[in-house]
Structures are given as structure tokens and as C-alpha cells.
Amino acid sequence: MSKACIFLAEGFEEIEALTVVDFLRRAEIEISMVSVTGDKKVKGSHQITVLADILFEEANFEDADILILPGGMPGTTNLTKHEGLDKLLREFHKKNKNIAAICAAPSVLGSKGLLAGKRATCYPGFESKLTGSITADQDVVVDGNIITSKGPGTAMDFSLALISKLVGKDTAKRIADGGIYRHFN
């Protein structure tokens, strides 16, 4: 079974985080909501409090297949500042393991030099923060082990791209065709 981790910081974008969790669980991908705040209760950018599955300090990431960063403000800024997450992202990048980010969160990867030479997209206006990337004006961009997406309106497409990457396009199509999302190709 594929395993994913999505990181929640104060001010995360709720649509981006919870759509991913919902879709991946429907696809029977084990996904853990990981709090980087030191508290399992994490408040999103629209004042919705979510109970994370585990604290960053308690988690074991060795068998994770993908790390996922939702956007939102100041969630993205808080993810950028987290030293443990910084180290983990760099380790995954070095091993060419999957990393995904949506909305403003691709800027986290850009600030760490993890997008060098990769095609990437982000929330409009954040393109200059994708240091070293080849910016693409697309809803979702998959370039090798890096998956990026524009924002809340692309959360379903982003989630389906993650499912395709982890367990195949047939599963993504089954989830989309199950009445959830009729525009997936």
C-alpha cells in the first residue's frame, strides 16, 4: 500500500489539504495528516480547525512514498520555517522520492533549491519564488518526482494526479468516475 504524508501548519489552505486527504483515502492510499505545530489541533487559513493524525516529532517518514505540502497563508510561510520539514524535504529530493506542493507551497520547494531544472506551477503571483524552475501556466504539473498545482480550484486535479502517480491512472479514473469529479481525463 502506498503511503503519503501531508503537512499541516497554522494557516494552511483547508480545501487543498482536505481534498487531498479525502481523495487519497478513497483510493486506499494511506495518508497521514502531520502537524508541524507541536499540537494535533491545527487551524487553517479560514479558521477551520483540523485534528492531525500525528505530530511531526512522532512520525516515521522512512516508508512514505510522497510528501505533500498544501498552500495557504501563513501556512506556507510556517512550512518554510520548519527545520525538521526542511531536512526531510531535502532527504526526499536527494533520493528522488516524490514531493508535491499546491498553491503557494511550491515556493517552499523553490526556496530550498528543489525545483532547479524542473517544470512547476503555483498560485499566480508566486512564480518568482520558484527559484530555478521552468514555470508552466498549467493547473497541475508533473515533472519526474515533483508534482505542483495552482491552488484551491485545482485541488481535485492535483489529488487525482497524486493518485495516478502513486497507484496508477486507472485508480484515479475510478475515483473521478465514482461521481466525485467528472472532468478528469
* Catalytic (active-site) positions: 103
Q: Could you give the CA distance from residue 109 to residue 2 in angstroms, rounded to a whole number?
A: 22
> 35 CB contacts (<8 Å, ≥6 apart)?
8, 41, 42, 52, 54, 55, 56
Cα separations in angstroms, 3 against 35, 90, 172: 16, 18, 16
Specify the DSSP element, H or E, that contains 171.
helix 169-175
The residue written with cell numbers 502513486 in the block is: 166
> 89 CB contacts (<8 Å, ≥6 apart)?
67, 99, 108, 109, 112, 114
Determine contact, residues 42/10, Cβ cutoff 8 Å.
Answer: yes
Q: Between β-strands 3-8 and 30-35, what pairing exists: parallel, antiparallel or unpaired?
A: parallel
Helix (H, G, I), strand (E, B) or coil at 115: coil
